[in-house]
Chain A
Amino acid sequence: MTTVDVSVLDGVGTSPRRPDGTLKVRGEFAFSSDLWHEDMLWGATLRSPYPHAEIRGIDLTAALALPGVYAILTYQDVPGAKRYGLEIADQPVLAMDEVRYQGEPVAIVAADHPETARRAAGHIAVDYLELPPVTDPEEGDLLRRVPVRTGDPHPTADVVVTGEYQVGMQDQAFLGPESGLAVPAEDGGVDLYVATQWLHVDRKQVAACLGLPEEKVRLSLAGVGGAFGAREDLSMQVHASLLALHTRKPVKMVYGREESFYGHVHRHPATLRYEHGATRDGDLVYVRARIVLDGGAYASSSTAVAANAATLGIGPYEVPNVDMVADVYYTNNPPCGAMRGFGAVQACFGYESQMDKLAAALGMSPVELRIRNALTTGSRMPTGQVVEGPAPVASLLARVRSRPAPPPSTPDLRELPGGVSNTTHGEGVVRGVGYAIGIKNVGFSEGFDDYSTARVRLELVGGEPAALVHTAAAEVGQGLVTVQAQIARTELGVERVTVATADTSVGSAGSSSASRQTYVTGGAVRAACQAVRATLLSRVAGATDVVGGKLVNAAGVVVADLAEAIGDEPVEETVEWRHRPTYPIDPKTGQGDAHVQYAFAAHRATVDVDVELGLVKVVEIATAQDVGKAVNPLAVVGQIHGGTAQGLGLALMEEIQIVDGVVRNPSFTDYLIPTILDMPPMSVDVLELADPHSPYGLRGVGEPPTISSTPAIVAAVRAATGKALARVPIRPEHITT
């Protein structure tokens, strides 16, 4: 076979521009909240004001009397399954006899104007009997316990450090609120246009709740304004569909900003108790850990989050003896589920804080201690799984350590803690540096059948070969929108590639989460392209390869033009593609090859802290990450910047504050996310060490930056202040008292 390397314009390894980039910057991109249909109605949701209450009655009379109201539905109007859920169907479509968290949907309204719909919702009289909420997870019902145990159950060590750490509830804080449009169809089904992360899992749940066969529920992806895990669970999908089927009219629903805080799951708050034992030389002997996650009112993806926390919970280190238990509990707090980093974030704050503490106890440098214990190719995880392929933990740390230190800050206020708020001209400012490294699984784990489907069609358009790529994979901002076309260009040697709108007329692509889409849907697109090539080759006698738009024979001689081989018969292939199987873990010992791929990133944070006022300015972040293969190098760096910013937010400001089950800051006025003055310049070192098992050797990119940036920043603040800082986000008063 002739293997001539043909580099294709805008193929794999190049950085073509996002087709939606300019539109988004100019405010012209159509998000799901911009959907419109002739004659459409507007939906609104009545939500529980209480974290826990019995519903004794619902009176719709006054609401129904409002002119312009078309329908008001309660749980009694749900024709199919009354509950749904990603893993456990425990979440009511509309509350039945009880509400279990503040903001739980109780009734839905369709009206001819959004204002009317909202006002009607306000006129629904619900007779609640308030019940005491369970807000401490350790007093709640256990949802899942994941032990991971290996080695000696009673180890001893020269040096032992213990710590208890806490992670507050972070929000994904996407900018495009939950929204979509449901259009009733002639066949009694519904066409749903929605911003989501996984069309097919939505369809499965929506169809079940509507009591319809899946083929009567057709979903198309509408413009997604960010996701970060918050669109894995259903929000308005069933509600809008119910209203549309009931009124026989298209129904649009758009959550407001405040409502959005109640409309999706959040990152699990966690309490993490760790004990690390090491030899005097700094070799880790054992880790004992108890992680408690607050799952909130419904299961969502909590069970998988707990598994990640447990299986990744000692970090990227070799530890012979491990006794880890991660528990997730039900409470009456807001439901928690998927968010970028998925269980690995909370654990990393715990184990990396411990590594710093241990380094201090040993009198070692924190980086030295980490490098000494770093896992590498062939190391065994505490689950017994052997790490295959590159695992450059030590070299990532060494790389960030060797970056030149940022210069001291200048008197420009924008460079000082407090910024232009003019709180210091240098008084009280102390610099600190901190390091961290994290580990994340890529793809779905524990034996999940994790696959993607791609359909690729090659045909002549205006006499020229053109490819159409169709998958159901959700572009949520991560860049898949260029990746699919890049792969098709490289595989088919065709420059003209169109990516069709993601919808359910093609098979499932799996979720845009777990850093998996470039790997799994990228793999599916590549496989479909290869099938297209094979069909083409079979059409031309003697052809063995497609090179540079020509079919060649074994001798490398051109035997046909691509256009000739296509002729009037377009080639279309649909392929379902799977990564290597994973396996469940033993429920008692946690042993098993649960994960398909590990990804690593290291961060070094440099901060200036005003130690008198407790204000922090992150001065610089250096990061190094192995991505296997940068399919789109510019998009890779974008993911690393964005993920790091999200970790900075968790370190310093982002928290949904909850008192007695009630959210106190459901707005961007008081739920603060980093601004451009909070994000420092970054140096990003991208390694491309090919994974032998993945397409092009690539490694998932999206989540690792979020995981280690938080503990690196906290470590830097500790270095500057000498404070223990066992909780994130750090608040100024944690530093000043």
Chain B
Amino acid sequence: MDFLRPSTWEEALAAKAAHPEAVPIAGGTDVMVELNFDRRRPPALLDLTRVAALTEWGGDGDLLRVGAGVPYRRIIEELGGRLPGLAMAARTVGSPQIRNRGTVGGNLGSASPAGDAHPPLLAAGAEIELASVRGVRRVPVDEFFTGPKRSVLAPDELIAAFWMRPARTGDQFAKIGTRNAMVIAVCSFALTLDRERRTVGTGIGSAAPTPVRAPAAEAFLAASLDWDSPGAVPPAVAAEFGRLVAAAAAPIDDVRGTAAYRRHALSVLARRTLTWAWEGSR
């Protein structure tokens, strides 16, 4: 197995163009598991950890650009105030060791329906920046996933960064697992309430072949919330929102849980996160 070690982004893109079969490795917390379990035997690994540009983040007007290689720990510590929903999700990933190494770029690269970074990216309407020697494109995250563990990433492309609007208002993330830490989501839910723009964003994890939004729930809530009111969300609105979120999911029965439980739990999480986000955004 070849081990390619570019030290700049340009070298990385050139290497990926020259070796499209090379598997990028960032934190390695998915790649090494696949190798150890003998699920994958790539001819080459493309180590991205020397590419400093991938681990940077910064602002660009209204939007933040976060490098694909920023590990979860830094997202929690450095971006917790600006991207609270993503930071909450990051806090639930694995263990401290995994959060030290694992990256959002890797989460996107794996494109697992259970990836915890995905729902907050969906809820926030993030864009994924993909690059190759051919050029750079920005893909809305809800167009990024094409199936279980599949995405629009082309063989010669790398994930450079994601772009996200800092939260001014209520962001929430909640994840169901059958133990209290170090657990893959049975299902998860992210919510963004933007009072200024009066928009609602949602993201559902582990309850469909890909991470998905709940557009009908978003539209319903945006129309039903009394955005100017400081009062609580009417219970009937919260309940209907929960129902619509659950309806947007397409879960299955598997070792981690049943489809019926996932739907039920999503409706509960949707109701609860709505209450917290609405209060948090006041």
Residues of A at the B interface (CB closer than 8 Å) are 118, 256, 258, 414, 417-425, 427-428, 612-615, 617, 652-653, 657, 664-665, 667, 669-670, 672, 674-678, 731-733, 736-737
Residues of B within 8 A of A652 (CB): 178-179
Residue B176 lies at the interface, judged by CB distance under 8 Å to chain A: yes
Q: Which B residues, 174 to 216, have Cβ-Cβ distances below 8 Å to chain A?
A: 174-184, 186
Residues of A within 8 A of B36 (CB): 256
Q: Is the CB of B255 within 8 A of A731?
A: no
Residues of B within 8 A of A417 (CB): 180
- Considering the chains assembled together, what is the distance between the CA atoms of A421 and B178 in angstroms? 11
- Considering the chains assembled together, what is the distance between the CA atoms of A424 and B275 in angstroms? 11
Q: Tell me, rounded to whole Å, the shortest Cβ–Cβ distance linking A737 to chain B.
A: 7
Binds A, one of B137-145, B146-154, B157-165, B261-269: B261-269
A732 in contact with B182 given A421-B92, A423-B269, A665-B255 (CB within 8 Å): no
- Considering the chains assembled together, what is the distance between the CA atoms of A417 and B181 in angstroms? 10
With A423-B176, A664-B255, A677-B180 already in contact, 17 other A-B pairs whose C-beta atoms are closer than 8 Å: A418-B180, A419-B181, A420-B92, A422-B91, A422-B175, A423-B175, A612-B268, A615-B178, A652-B178, A653-B178, A665-B255, A669-B184, A677-B179, A732-B257, A732-B261, A733-B258, A736-B264
- Considering the chains assembled together, what is the distance between the CA atoms of A622 and B264 in angstroms? 34
- Considering the chains assembled together, what is the distance between the CA atoms of A334 and B195 in angstroms? 56
- Considering the chains assembled together, what is the distance between the CA atoms of A661 and B134 in angstroms? 51
Q: Which B residues, 242 to 264, have Cβ-Cβ distances below 8 Å to chain A?
A: 255-258, 260-261, 264
Q: Tell me, rounded to whole Å, the shortest Cβ–Cβ distance linking B86 to chain A.
A: 13
Q: Is the CB of A424 within 8 A of B261?
A: no
Q: Tell me, rounded to whole Å, the shortest Cβ–Cβ distance linking B225 to chain A.
A: 20
Q: Tell me, rounded to whole Å, the shortest Cβ–Cβ distance linking A524 to chain B.
A: 41
Chain B residue, CB-CB nearest to A422: B174
- Max chain A C-beta neighbours (<10 A), residue from B36, B92, B260: B92
- Considering the chains assembled together, what is the distance between the CA atoms of A664 and B255 in angstroms? 7
Identify B272's interface contact among A423, A731, A732, A733, CB under 8 A. Answer: A423
Q: Is the CB of A418 within 8 A of B176?
A: yes
Q: Tell me, rounded to whole Å, the shortest Cβ–Cβ distance linking B95 to chain A.
A: 8
Q: Tell me, rounded to whole Å, the shortest Cβ–Cβ distance linking B119 to chain A.
A: 12
Q: Is the CB of A422 within 8 A of B172?
A: yes
- Considering the chains assembled together, what is the distance between the CA atoms of A484 and B95 in angstroms? 37
Q: Is the CB of B176 within 8 A of A613?
A: yes
Q: Is the CB of A613 within 8 A of B180?
A: no
Q: Tell me, rounded to whole Å, the shortest Cβ–Cβ distance linking A473 to chain B.
A: 34
Residue B276 lies at the interface, judged by CB distance under 8 Å to chain A: yes
Q: Tell me, rounded to whole Å, the shortest Cβ–Cβ distance linking A465 to chain B.
A: 47
Identify A613's interface contact among B260, B265, B276, CB under 8 A. Answer: B265
Identify B181's interface contact among A657, A669, A678, CB under 8 A. Answer: A678
Residue B278 lies at the interface, judged by CB distance under 8 Å to chain A: no
- Inter-chain contact total with CB atoms closer than 8 Å: 97
- Considering the chains assembled together, what is the distance between the CA atoms of A652 and B179 in angstroms? 8
- Considering the chains assembled together, what is the distance between the CA atoms of A614 and B260 in angstroms? 13
24 contacts between A and B (CB under 8 A): A414-B180, A418-B174, A418-B180, A419-B181, A420-B181, A421-B92, A421-B176, A422-B173, A425-B272, A427-B272, A613-B268, A614-B261, A653-B178, A664-B255, A670-B184, A670-B255, A676-B181, A677-B179, A732-B178, A732-B186, A732-B257, A732-B261, A733-B264, A737-B261
Q: Which B residues, 46 to 95, have Cβ-Cβ distances below 8 Å to chain A?
A: 88, 91-92, 95
Chain A residue, CB-CB nearest to B264: A736
Residues of A within 8 A of B179 (CB): 652-653, 672, 674-675, 677-678
Residue B2 lies at the interface, judged by CB distance under 8 Å to chain A: no
Residue B38 lies at the interface, judged by CB distance under 8 Å to chain A: yes
Residues of A within 8 A of B92 (CB): 420-422
Residues of B at the A interface (CB closer than 8 Å) are 36-38, 88, 91-92, 95, 172-184, 186, 255-258, 260-261, 264-265, 268-269, 272, 276
- Considering the chains assembled together, what is the distance between the CA atoms of A228 and B210 in angstroms? 40
A118 in contact with B38 given A420-B92, A652-B179, A672-B178 (CB within 8 Å): yes
- Considering the chains assembled together, what is the distance between the CA atoms of A184 and B178 in angstroms? 47
Chain B residue, CB-CB nearest to A675: B181
Q: Tell me, rounded to whole Å, the shortest Cβ–Cβ distance linking A148 to chain B.
A: 36
- Considering the chains assembled together, what is the distance between the CA atoms of A427 and B269 in angstroms? 11
Identify A657's interface contact among B255, B264, B265, CB under 8 A. Answer: B255
Residues of B within 8 A of A669 (CB): 184
Residues of A within 8 A of B261 (CB): 614, 732-733, 736-737
- Considering the chains assembled together, what is the distance between the CA atoms of A172 and B188 in angstroms? 30
Chain B residue, CB-CB nearest to A413: B91
Residues of B within 8 A of A676 (CB): 181
Residues of B within 8 A of A657 (CB): 255
Q: Tell me, rounded to whole Å, the shortest Cβ–Cβ distance linking A383 to chain B.
A: 39
Residues of A within 8 A of B88 (CB): 422
Residues of A within 8 A of B177 (CB): 418, 421
- Considering the chains assembled together, what is the distance between the CA atoms of A732 and B264 in angstroms? 11
- Considering the chains assembled together, what is the distance between the CA atoms of A118 and B176 in angstroms? 37
- Considering the chains assembled together, what is the distance between the CA atoms of A32 and B246 in angstroms? 49
Residues of B within 8 A of A418 (CB): 174-177, 180
- Considering the chains assembled together, what is the distance between the CA atoms of A675 and B179 in angstroms? 8
Residues of B within 8 A of A732 (CB): 176, 178, 186, 257, 261, 265
Q: Tell me, rounded to whole Å, the shortest Cβ–Cβ distance linking A115 to chain B.
A: 9
- Considering the chains assembled together, what is the distance between the CA atoms of A621 and B272 in angstroms? 29
Q: Tell me, rounded to whole Å, the shortest Cβ–Cβ distance linking B23 to chain A.
A: 18
Residues of B within 8 A of A258 (CB): 37
- Max chain A C-beta neighbours (<10 A), residue from B38, B177, B178, B258: B178
Q: Tell me, rounded to whole Å, the shortest Cβ–Cβ distance linking B112 to chain A.
A: 11
Q: Tell me, rounded to whole Å, the shortest Cβ–Cβ distance linking A380 to chain B.
A: 42
Residues of A within 8 A of B173 (CB): 422
Chain B residue, CB-CB nearest to A665: B255
- Considering the chains assembled together, what is the distance between the CA atoms of A258 and B38 in angstroms? 11
Q: Is the CB of A731 within 8 A of B257?
A: yes
Chain B residue, CB-CB nearest to A610: B268
Q: Is the CB of B183 within 8 A of A672?
A: yes
- Considering the chains assembled together, what is the distance between the CA atoms of A567 and B11 in angstroms? 76
Chain A residue, CB-CB nearest to B173: A422
Residues of A within 8 A of B265 (CB): 613-614, 732, 736
- Considering the chains assembled together, what is the distance between the CA atoms of A665 and B38 in angstroms? 16
- Considering the chains assembled together, what is the distance between the CA atoms of A428 and B88 in angstroms? 21
Q: Is the CB of A421 within 8 A of B175?
A: yes
Q: Is the CB of B180 within 8 A of A678?
A: yes
Chain A residue, CB-CB nearest to B261: A733
Q: Is the CB of B180 within 8 A of A617?
A: yes
